[in-house]
Structure 1
Amino acid sequence: MKLNSIDIKLLALLQEDATMQIADLAEQVGLTQTPCWRRVQRLKESGVIAKNVVLLDPLRVNVGVTVFVAVRTSIHSEEWFERFRATVSLIPEVVEFYRMSGDVDYLLRVVVPDIAAYDKVYKRLIAGNQVSDVSSSFAMEQLKFTTALPLSYAR
Structure 2
Amino acid sequence: MLDTIDKAILSVLQQDSTLSVSEVADRVNLSTTPCWRRIQKLEQDGVIARRVVLLDAKKLNVGVTVLVEIKTAQHTAAWLRRFCEVVATIPEVVEVYRMSGHIDYMLKVVVPHIEAYDGVYKRLISEVDIFDVSSSFSMETIKHTTMLPLDYVL
Q: Percent identity?
A: 55
1:139 — aligned with what?
Answer: 138
Partner residue, 1:12: 11
CA drift of 1:131 comes to 1.0
Aligned residue in 2 for 1:152 = 151
Q: For residues 50-94 of structure 1, give each alpha carbon's deviation from its aligned partner in whole angstroms, at most 9, with x where no partner exists.
A: 000000000110100000000001110111111111111110000
Using the TM superposition, name which of 87-96 and 18-27 deviates more: 18-27
Give the Cα separation in 2 of the matches to 1:44 and 1:81: 31
Q: How do residues 71-90 of structure 1 correspond to structure 2 at under 5 angstroms?
A: 71-90=70-89
TM-score by length of structure 2 reads 0.98
Q: CA deviation at 1:128?
A: 3.1
Q: Report the residue type matching 1:153 in the other structure.
A: Y
The alignment's TM-score, normalised by the length of structure 1, stands at 0.98
Q: What's the CA shift string for 1:94-140, capped at 9, x where partnerless?
A: 00001100000000000000000000000111113211100000000
* 2:127 alignment partner in structure 1: 128
Structure 2 counterpart of 1:37, one-letter code: W
> What is the identity, as a one-letter code, of the residue corresponding to 1:104?
I
Partner of 2:52: 53
C-alpha distance in 2, partners of 1:24/1:92? 35
Deviation at 1:31, TM superposition (A): 1.1
* Residue ranges of structure 2 left out of the alignment (5+ in a row): none
Counterpart in the other structure of 1:112: 111
Cα distance in 2 between the residues matched to 1:56 and 1:28: 25
Distance across 2 between alignment mates of 1:4 and 1:128: 47
- Stretches of structure 1 lacking an aligned partner (at least 5 in a row): none
* SS state at 1:126 partner: helix
